[in-house]
Amino acid sequence: MRTAGRPGLVEGKVALVTGGARGIGRAVARLFAAEGARVVVCDLLEEGEQVAEEIRRAGGEAVFVRADVTREPEVEALVAGAVERFGRLDCAHNNAGITGGMAAVQDLALHDFEQTLRVNLLGVFLCLKHELRVMQRQGAGAIVNTSSGSGLIATPGLAPYCASKHGVLGLTKTAALENARTGVRVNAVLPGSIDTPMLREAMDRSPGMEKMIRASVPSGRLGTPEEVAEAVVWLCSDRASLVSGASLLVDGATVNR
């Protein structure tokens, strides 16, 4: 699938997106396809098939793979399947994530802490591990991990989420440095408050939350998944050839307010 009048930003590349059934991941899958990539959409939710189907109906190439990013055999099969299907893997957006339990640190249940770290940090690690092996063999590739503004600053009541998103930045920077001579770039995108099902669910959980979130954004409006997708696809494109180890805020100056 191609935007008329110019070659796509990721024309001919093969791209993998986790958490691609909805929210930011769905917007990234759609934009990858619109910019010329063949796309593997991964999610726990079967709605990922609809995203792949929509891309195919528009003339692109996409497959849906149901996989849990916290299970190494499933991640290994996901990456191997992408290569088997499309011959290589050029771009990956490790984006699947959850908000997890909300409580002050002393009140947090061990299970909630572990589950959030498992999805948001261990999941990114497993994806990185298997994607890097393929991309290093190719001598080329670009990976974007989803962190958050909460990867830089504290959010009271969200310690597991903040810890996981800070951890994603550590993983990203280390992998970028380790790969400085392999041809593989690794970056992180740090969305602010983006209008997705995840944010809507968090806002519905506690009254007053929506007002508080909107008040925290200098522009007064929530970001769109499409605005984050623009940053992700650019970071994965050859136009970002010198960008590696970067933490790109897409938050309308929220963290710096």
Q: Show which residues are catalytic.
A: 161
**Which residue's CB is nearer to ligand NAP, number 66 or number 88?**
66
Site string for ligand NAP, 147-176 (x = CB under 6 A): -x----------------------------
Long-range contact pairs involving 168-174 (C-beta distance under 8 Å, separation at least 24): 168/120, 168/121, 168/124, 169/247, 171/121, 171/124, 171/125, 171/128, 171/145, 172/145, 172/147, 172/245, 172/247, 173/245, 173/247
Does the footprint of ligand NAP cover residue 196 (CB under 6 A)?
A: yes
Among 1, 9, 19, 37, binds ligand NAP (CB under 6 A): 19
Only one of the segments 7-15, 169-177, 178-186, 196-204 lies at the binding site for ligand NAP (rule: CB under 6 A); that segment is: 196-204
Q: Is 188 in the site for ligand NAP (CB under 6 A)?
A: no
Which of 60, 63, 68, 125 touches ligand NAP (CB under 6 A)? 68
116 binds ligand NAP (CB under 6 A): no
Asked if 183 touches ligand NAP (CB under 6 A), the answer is: no
Longest dimension (CA), the chain: 57
Q: Does 35 bind ligand NAP (CB under 6 A)?
A: no
Residues near ligand NAP, by CB under 6 A: 18-19, 21-25, 43-45, 68-70, 95-98, 119, 123, 146, 148, 191, 193-194, 196-199
